[in-house]
Amino acid sequence: MNGLTQTVTVDRRGRLLAFGTLIAAVLMLFVFSTSASARAAESGPTIVLVHGAFASPAGWDGVAAALHKDGYQTATPALGLSSVSDDVAIVRSTLDSIPGDKILVGHSYGGFVITNAASGRSDVSGLVYTAAYVPESGETINSLSVGYAPGAFLAHLVLAPALPLVIVEPQFYAEDFAQDLNPKLGAEITAQQRPTSLGLFVTPSGPAAWHALPSWYAVSGHDRAIDPALQRFMAQRAGSTTVEFAAASHVGGLTHYAARFVKLIEQAIDATAT
């Protein structure tokens, strides 16, 4: 019996030692993961997410949440959508308020804004676009679009209560911008719409920051607002590192493909780390 008792005692000790080793390994992994996230938050750039026309900062919620989970800080300025110069000033003011390096991310018209807002700044280390306009100096959104399929939303513009701004008729909004979303999500996107000035489409761009900064671009392959062929042209001209979300709508990079788009942003962070 003494031999059996000793064997059982040894087995129990062995199991306890193995369990203790497992717990220690899990704790070390947790501490490492937490420390890595803390280092990213402390030393990594702040990601400034800039929304497009007929939209709001809420469109970035999923992308921002994923970046926060990975330990990064974000900012989502609210554009006025009444003039390009005002919107560029809003983004520049946001940049001024944040210490350290920044990565600028733009969707749709937001790409036009960040291309201008980053010009001449040493605190912006990279530009990331998704289904966005990337103008050359002097170009307008309208002139960029010549020779490409026009946005479906242009046929559905109506005057907003706050004249002279316009909105996309709500019954067409999801179809024009988010045809790959289910009705519930489409309704949520529609509810986020903000009135926009048509003047944004005819205002020439200032100096284009992509000449001096590295850029990344996610093309939305089924975009009904900005012709995917135009997106590919702008990305190629800017020398952007490019991925394509083959079945994505105009907001696909922020919704169905959000996880892959976050990876693209983090690729930009890693590539520009100093």
Domain edges within the chain = 1-43, 45-272
Digitized pLDDT (tens) for each residue of the chain, 274 residues in all = 444 344 434 444 444 344 444 444 433 433 333 333 444 445 699 999 999 999 999 999 999 999 999 999 999 999 999 999 999 999 999 999 999 999 999 999 999 999 999 999 999 999 999 999 999 999 999 999 999 999 999 999 999 987 889 999 999 999 999 999 999 999 999 999 999 999 999 999 999 999 999 999 999 999 999 999 999 999 999 999 999 999 999 999 999 999 999 999 999 999 999 7
Cβ(54)–Cβ(153) under 8 Å? yes
Locus of tokens 């788009």: 261
> How many Cα atoms sit within 13 Å of 71 on the Cβ side?
15
Evaluate whether the domain defined by 45-272 bears CATH number 3.40.50.300. no
For the whole model, what pTM was predicted? Answer: 0.85
Quickly list DSSP for 139-202: --HHHHHTTSPPPGGGGGEEE-SSTT-EEE-HHHHHHHH-TTS-HHHHHHHHHT---B-GGGGS
Locus of tokens 């850029």: 215
